[in-house]
Amino acid sequence: MNRHHALLVTPLLFSWSWSGFRIRMIVSFRQACLTWPKSACGAAFSAAVHKPVAFYSAPCYLCGVDVEVRYRGRVVTADDVERIRKLIADHPSLSRRGLSLKFCEVWNWVQPNGAPRDMVARGLLLELHRRGLIELPAQKWVPRSMLREHRPQPSILTWLPIEEPLVAIRPLEIRQVRRTSEEALFNSFIETHHYLGYIRPVGEHLKYLISAKGVPIACMSWSSAPRHIGVRDRFIGWTQEVRRQNMHLVAYNSRFLILPWGRVPHLASHVLGLISRRISADWERLYHHPIVFLETFVDPERFRGTCYRAANWIHLGVTKGVGKASRTMQPDRSLKEVLGYPLVPDFRKRLGVT
């Protein structure tokens, strides 16, 4: 984009880089605001643009800006946008899904197991389309709500309480049930008995169903780890670029449930120990790469994390309470304790830290 051309800002979300300063413009039909370092602007202009502009139709012009979009940690420049436009123009017969697959092929966006990052690519293309930077072909099929479609039915199953010492029910049977006939049972248990309910995982994930003497007594799910956790990143010691390259080697314990009838002392920490010894091999079997570090969040208003500490997990610190969708750096949710567990002694080296 020519730096000397003025740009008309439409009611969309853009990220800009101008004279070394990051300018973030958020304009919506309900509310809009423009923020940047106050020292970079005159007081009068700063006051003017901070005025609420909901339902304000006058256009806003910025001079000398370059388009820069960030999506899932990747920067998409104006040159990238031009290449994507050419890709669309060169394949006019492809659907949106076909374009996302072609996009993965051209950009070499693949998972460690060789499968294309189709959903990630499709999300980026849709984001650029919504911002008016590219024009996707018309949608051929409108999916039903994923939330309604995949919300599991509550479980009505129950068993008599198991109130025996741990030694009396060992060995436990652990089954990885993702993509098996037992996955629906796992989902229904989480939906019924976990205080957060069931949320369909995104990205790489595993689901474990743990049984004792043929009776299910615990559920545990793992998924791709959140990208930005300050206390974890400082503990590992990696840079932003190293983290981006090796984030797939960290797994996040998203749900852990001891079913109501599983009243066995020390059961939770025992299950954590068993899972930690097999999760890397299970992950590699499905996704073709190992796991070297585990992490989880504990809500101190509800739990003390005793079972994690008993299983030798390390307290890394506390979150800032700022969600990934937050538009400010102000806390918008409860603070969580962050606990981690290295699976190998040289975990930092394997995570790219030299």
Q: What is the residue extent of each domain of the chain? A: 6-130, 146-350
Of residues 291 and 200, more confidence is placed in 291
- Report, as an integer, the average pLDDT of 239-263: 96
**What would you measure as the largest C-alpha separation in the chain, in angstroms?**
77
DSSP character at residue 134: S
pLDDT category, 67, cuts 50, 70, 90? low
- Quote the CA–CA distance of 123 and 196 in Å, as a whole number: 26
% residues pLDDT > 70 (the chain):
75
Q: Is the pTM of this model over 0.75?
A: no
pLDDT category, 182, cuts 50, 70, 90? very high
298, pLDDT greater than 60: yes
59, pLDDT greater than 50: no
Give just the sign of the alpha carbon dihedral 161, 165, 171, 177.
Answer: positive
pLDDT tens, position by position, 302-322? 999 999 999 999 999 999 877
- Quote the CA–CA distance of 111 and 121 in Å, as a whole number: 12
Which pLDDT score, from 0 to 100, does residue 26 have? 34
pLDDT category, 212, cuts 50, 70, 90? very high
Which pLDDT score, from 0 to 100, does residue 6 have? 36
Q: Which residues have a Cβ under 8 Å from the Cβ of 270 and sit 6 or more positions away?
A: 166, 172
As a whole number, the mean pLDDT across the chain is 80
41-46's contacts with Cβ under 8 Å and 24+ in sequence apart are: none
Which pLDDT score, from 0 to 100, does residue 330 have? 66
Lowest mean per-residue pLDDT among 45-49, 197-201, 262-266: 45-49
Lowest mean per-residue pLDDT among 31-40, 84-93, 202-211: 31-40
Lowest mean per-residue pLDDT among 77-91, 104-118, 182-196, 315-329: 315-329
145, pLDDT greater than 70: no
Asked if residues 313 and 341 have their Cβ atoms less than 8 Å apart, the reply is yes
141, pLDDT greater than 50: yes
Asked if residues 17 and 67 have their Cβ atoms less than 8 Å apart, the reply is no
Q: How is domain 146-350 classified at the architecture level of CATH?
A: 3-Layer(aba) Sandwich (3.40)
What are the structure tokens assigned to 258, written together? 């001891």
pLDDT category, 270, cuts 50, 70, 90? very high
- Report, as an integer, the average pLDDT of 272-285: 97
